[in-house]
Amino acid sequence: MRKEATKFGFLLPGLLYLMAMAVFPLIWSLTLSFHRWKAATAAPRVFVGIENFLNIFSRDPRFWNSLRFTVLYVAIVVSVELSLGLLLAYILNERIRFRNFFRVLFLLPMAAPPIAVAFMWRMLLNPDAGIVVKILNSMGLNMVRWLTDARLTPFVLMAVDIWEWTPFMFLGLLAAMQSFPVSLYDAAQVDGASRLQIFWFVTFPLLLPIMVTLVLLRAIDAFKLFELVFGITGGGPGTSTESLSYYTYTVGFQYFDLGYACALSWVFLVIVLIMANFLLKRLRKEV
């Protein structure tokens, strides 16, 4: 009995910290989501039940616009990052010259903080002094408005995301490839399989569970898109690059409508949980 009490005593500080930093904010935000509370005014909190949630789904076109943009963004960047990561991992898994140098080089974008990456690319794409813009202008693309064209700016964000996070896919897939038994490839070569057949019938099936796991992790992270929007476009032009996270931030910290922002946060959480559950079911099928 005393041993159990001692174990609980060691766990208690961590449990209290977890409750203070995770559980309590969740409960508090859920409580606020059922209230109308604009912190910039002196008006008190007013309980409105599920009114905030009804307004989100029936009276808020910006929510649907940000959700549509976020889903499209996640689908495109994760697909491209997985494809490029697989290609790079396959190439650099072979015995080629300077492969260790290229492995390190391709990991560098992922090492920088996302907000630093955002501000760096905003400077690089600055229409007056950005070096990337100057290079593109020299190639005859001087009429392209990279950060002010609502049709083009979403793809600029996607390109930056792909540049930053393809190394994540590359690293996971390369580590998986290097763990596969060499005997499988030797047996396939003895049977006369071509390089394409070896990849498709040996490497790809072995990679599939790893790929689903990487897609799950990357999709959840990409769905939280905030830093790139905050640092590069600010949600503009207009609301063309406003992600769901950035819209929630705008409602909470620019409009100070904390009740509505908390409701948006819980809708966001439910969407992420549904997406994660779908991908986890797919992962269980592949394992």
Q: Count how many domains the chain has.
A: 1
Any domain includes 41? no
Q: What are the pLDDT digits (tens) for 167-214?
A: 999 999 999 998 888 888 888 888 888 888 888 988 899 999 899 899
211-247 in b/e form (b: 16+ CB < 10 A) is: bbbbbbbbbeebbebbbbbbbbbebebebbbbbbbbb
Containing structural domain, residue 268: 60-286
**pLDDT tier for residue 5 given thresholds of 50, 70 and 90:** low
User: pLDDT > 90: what percent of the chain?
Assistant: 52
Asked if the model's pLDDT at residue 2 lies above 70, the reply is: no
Any domain includes 64? yes
Give the C-alpha separation, 108 to 165, whole Å: 10
Asked if the model's pLDDT at residue 84 lies above 80, the reply is: yes
Q: Which residue has the higher pLDDT, 255 or 17?
A: 255
Any domain includes 2? no
Name the most confidently modeled range: 22-31, 42-51, 217-226.
217-226
Q: Which residue has the higher pLDDT, 109 or 11?
A: 109
- Which whole number is the average pLDDT over 233-251? 93
Q: What is the pLDDT of residue 143?
A: 67
Any domain includes 54? no
Any domain includes 18? no
CATH of the domain at 84: 1.10.3720.10
Least confident stretch, 65-79, 91-105, 222-236: 91-105
Q: How many CA atoms lie within 13 Å of 75's alpha carbon, on the beta-carbon side?
A: 6
- Which whole number is the average pLDDT over 43-58? 92
Work out whether the CA dihedral 161, 225, 57, 266 comes out positive or negative: positive
